[in-house]
Amino acid sequence: MSKVLKKYNEKRHFKDTPEPEGLLGKYAPKKKLQFIIQRHHASHLHYDFRLELNGVLKSWAIPKGPSLNPADKRLAMMVEDHPLSYAKFEGTIPKGNYGAGTVDIWDKGTYEPEVNPYMNVEKELNEELEKGNMKFILHGKKMKGSFALVKFKNASENSWLLIKHRDQFATDKEYQAEDNKD
């Protein structure tokens, strides 16, 4: 078992949950990386924001969901990496299992680094992740345009903010993910 997905696998009992097992296959870096946002109604409703990087889905739980309003700074708690196959997962995680509840795909698409999409994409994103300041452009159905994930200074290691940058896709209106399920 890969060390990368060890935390993911340790939290799940695959004979009891329909979630995909965290197996790593051969992975070749790509220029077009996928993102997925899953609406996860577990003990508390939240949205799981996932970015493909290094053959896994880097993952953050966003309690209030993403927003297209730059005034909204959404708390994003980094959680364990998920396998790429999780990008297609929708279903119910049975009671008694980690993350029990319903998972639906809320949005999906591709993303790229904001700074220079023609460089080594994954190298650039890894450097930004390590610095705690990722800037990227989402190409989804709901989430579009420029965003940043910024790590809190002097706080929990996994505390980040998801911030929408002002661009042609931004809005000044109140934005609630729950109002934009379809």
Domain ranges of the chain: 6-11+30-170
pLDDT of residue 32: 84
CA distances from 137 to 86, 104, 170 (A): 21, 23, 12
C-alpha closest to that of 24 among 66, 78, 82, 75: 82
Q: What is the pLDDT of residue 38?
A: 97
Predicted local confidence at residue 115, as pLDDT:
74
Q: For every one of its 182 residues, what pLDDT tens digit does the chain have, with 9 covering 90 and above?
A: 445 677 766 777 677 776 666 665 555 556 689 999 999 999 999 999 999 998 899 999 999 999 999 999 999 999 999 999 999 999 999 999 889 999 999 999 999 988 775 677 888 898 999 999 999 999 999 999 999 999 998 776 799 999 999 999 999 999 999 888 66
pLDDT value at position 1?
A: 40
Q: CB under 8 Å to 165, separation ≥6 — which residues? A: 70, 135, 145, 146, 147, 148
Give residue 40's pLDDT: 96
